Chain A
Amino acid sequence: MSVIPDAPDPFDRDRGGPAQPLLSVSGLYKHFPVRKAGGKKQVVRAVDGVDFDVLKGETLGIVGESGCGKSTTAKLLMGLIERDSGSLLYDGQAVGERVMPWRSYRRQVQMVFQDSYASLNPRMTVEQSIAFGPKVNGVPGREAVERARALLARVGLEPKRFAGRYPHEISGGQRQRVNIARSLALEPRLVLLDEAVSALDKSVEAQVLNLLLDLKAEFGLTYIFISHDLNVVRFISDRVMVMYLGRVSEIGPSDTVLDAPAHPYTEALLASMPSLDPDNRTQAALLQGDPPNPIDPPSGCRFHPRCTLAEPICGEKEPPLDTVGPLHRVSCLARQPGSGHSAAPARALAA
């Protein structure tokens, strides 16, 4: 039962059954206008045609370097910034239309940000911050506070000690626990975690990751987990999506993507992870240079200037995101039959 009393909310329960994706994103675009010296108008192609589904009960990890559009994607999913085009289907219902206005969608989908301090109001105690959302949605004050205390206890912060504190009075790990508690206050089904553990120390990070796993099991949550740390993503995710310059380069089950990557970019990302073996240190970097500027992305495949498999065709033809295995899709010409790339596998007979 929902704690939210006002109008009956048809979306607090499952509608479409387990097979229907909880969130289905298609053709998502967001370009930010910038003015370069000389007054020339240009756009940053932050998110440039992204499609993916988030299945019910899974954790979808999103990885990529800075500028790849992973945080912009998260903000678009939350409606914090307006999308240029594309559609969001939440449990089969288009978001932002009459049946599912943003207001009721945002009750179902909550977000936790990287900067635990900036995301809390410095003039509210943590208890007030957690109770704020439910109050706005019509929960009586005392009930909302009681619930906030229960949530604080659930995330491992003793309400007696912590409820009345202000954000600056608690440590970073504790603040992030408060943010997680707040995100759960409206009983959402989907939680977006945007680099939620990246600013924490390793030992605290492990505590928070464990907490996230427990909460997911207890409340039946679905997570979108954005991080640049592949080890963390591998640990927590069921499926992984790799982004590069505003597009999806690979998406699939995390074991497949991270153990047998099909896209050369995923391979390079994995090779860049520092090894923990002093006898077997990394000898050469697989990638040179920085990720290119999303203002003027390369033609064709966006990764081709840094790619080891690049051929002339990669600069001309933009690779589609095609299936290469069960649930595994890759946008690389070298992996797609009939693409014209010399390394492409032979076309399957049935195709």
Chain B
Amino acid sequence: MSPPEPAVTLGNLRVAFGKVQVVDGVDLTVERGQAMALIGESGSGKSVTLRAILRLFHEGRSRIEGTILAAGRDVQALSKRQLADFRGGDVSMIFQEPLLAFDPVYTVGQQITEAIRRHEKISKEDARKRALALFERVRIPSPERRLDNYPHEMSGGMRQRAMIALALACHPQVLLADEPTTALDATVQIQVLLLLRELQRDLGLSIIIVTHDLGAAVEVADRIAVMYAGKIVETGTAHQVVLDPHHPYTIGLLRSRAEGALAKGSRLQTIPGSPPDLANRPPGCPFAPRCFLVEERCRQEMPPVGEISPGHKVACWRTDEASAAYRAGPTPVRAAEPVPA
């Protein structure tokens, strides 16, 4: 066998809808058996990046540029037919809202056996046996009975487990998860996160999980990539990104979390302003207008990606200052914005 190639490689990925450049040059490598988290705020392009791996966009209304290699296939070169085999067979995906992802008029069991029989020549009975085994694998209680449930008859956590079972039905190498726990209750969220971690370990799955919740990312991922305005601004191991951040945006995200507040009554550190309008992207670093370390150069020129330490990459001109500011601890927050009379 050849040396193991990465599970997913994105090279200068660019996705545009009309004039809006939603993903603007993303480079990302996910090794086999690794779990990667893409985090960012709404509109940062994280979900679009994920969906581009399966080419889930209408071709007439989107433009995908760059290279996408996943599970050893060149996704851009796949024909329609090959793409259908690739989706679910090599790479599969789970979504935020399983109630919307399942078809409401078929039982969950029917949908899983249908998926298996689409990809393999196998009898109905065997497909159902496989579905049952999958339900046991994702630990759905009384699986035999649950296979005959319609999606609305299951609770939210169970539906997400069923969704995972469906995604794993054809033994994919890569699992893409788009905000898989956002719609779930706290006590259920942690169960699903632990399940994903367990599947990664036991099945050797490569996982890319998109989330806006730093906590969820840390629970599952080996590596974290932080996205802002269609670009990856910082990548590294969970350890590097969360404990030793070097990009001002990552620092802002960590600081603005409510548990970071020092004492009751103290104010939260915030990132001023709001994300840029992607249709009118400013030149230079997209984070510059909100950055606490901004200087003239940032507004003119997009900083290159630099490697801070092995595997820890940051796109910022002033990584040393940013890191020093983070280590110095929270700076006193500015007084409240002036109040116009």
Contact = CB atoms under 8 A, between A and B. Distances in A.
A185 to B, nearest CB: 17
A296 to B, nearest CB: 14
Interface string A147-175: 00010011010100000000000011110
B28 interface: no
A202 B257 contact: yes
Given A154-B339, A171-B274, A273-B186, A285 B253 contact: no
B256 A290 contact: no
Interface stretch (A72-80, A104-112, A229-237): A229-237
A103 interface: no
Interface string B142-174: 000000000000011110000000000000000
Nearest to B189: A272
Interface string B206-223: 000000111110110000
A290 B242 contact: no
Interface in B1-56: 41-42
Contact of A153 (B237, B336, B339): B339
B193 to A, nearest CB: 7
Interface string B162-199: 00000000000000000000000111111101100100
A172 B214 CA distance: 20
A287 B186 CA distance: 10
Contacts of A324: none
A265 B158 CA distance: 20
Interface string B245-267: 00000001100111101001101
B305 interface: no
Interface string A228-246: 1111101110000000000
A232 B239 CA distance: 24
Contact of B215 (A66, A204, A274): A274
Given A201-B42, A203-B271, A274-B215, A210 B336 contact: yes
B269 interface: yes
A41 interface: no
Given A156-B337, A203-B271, A276-B215, A282 B190 contact: yes
Contacts of B123: none
A235 B336 contact: no
A337 interface: no
A89 interface: no
Contacts of A275: 215, 218-219
Given A268-B187, A274-B193, A284-B194, A234 B218 contact: no
Given A275-B218, A291-B187, A231 B253 contact: no
A182 B340 CA distance: 18
Interface residues of B, number: 50
Interface string A167-201: 00001111000000000000000000000000001
Contacts of B193: 274, 282
Contacts of A269: 186-187
Contact of A66 (B185, B191, B243, B259): B185
Contact of B237 (A154, A236, A278): A278
Contacts of A158: 340
B218 A278 contact: yes
A214 interface: yes
B42 A288 contact: no
A281 interface: yes
Contact of A287 (B42, B187, B243, B341): B187
A202 B274 CA distance: 11
Nearest to B39: A202
Contacts of B215: 273-276
A276 B259 contact: yes
Interface string B268-283: 1111101000000000
B239 A207 contact: no
A321 B259 CA distance: 29
A279 interface: yes
Contacts of A81: none
Given A235-B268, A281-B218, A230 B239 contact: no
Interface in A254-288: 254-255, 268-269, 271-279, 281-282, 284-288
B268 A209 contact: yes
Contacts of A204: 41, 274
Given A153-B340, A278-B237, A173 B218 contact: no
A278 B261 contact: no
Nearest to A280: B218
A209 B258 contact: yes
B274 A289 contact: no
A65 interface: yes
Contact of B258 (A156, A206, A284, A285): A206
B238 interface: yes
Contacts of A255: 264
A173 B274 contact: yes
Nearest to B224: A278
Contacts of B238: 278
B194 A285 contact: yes
A85 to B, nearest CB: 28
10 contacts: A202-B257, A210-B270, A235-B259, A235-B268, A254-B264, A278-B243, A282-B193, A282-B219, A286-B187, A291-B187
Q: Which 5 pairs of residues, A with B, have the shortest CB-CB distance?
A: A274-B215, A206-B256, A278-B238, A235-B258, A65-B185
Given A156-B337, A234-B258, A282-B190, 5 more contacts: A201-B42, A273-B215, A274-B213, A276-B242, A278-B218
Interface of B: 41-42, 141, 155-158, 185-191, 193-194, 197, 212-216, 218-219, 237-239, 242-243, 252-253, 256-259, 261, 264-265, 267-272, 274, 336-337, 339-341
Interface of A: 65-66, 150, 153-154, 156, 158, 171-174, 201-207, 209-210, 213-214, 228-232, 234-236, 254-255, 268-269, 271-279, 281-282, 284-291
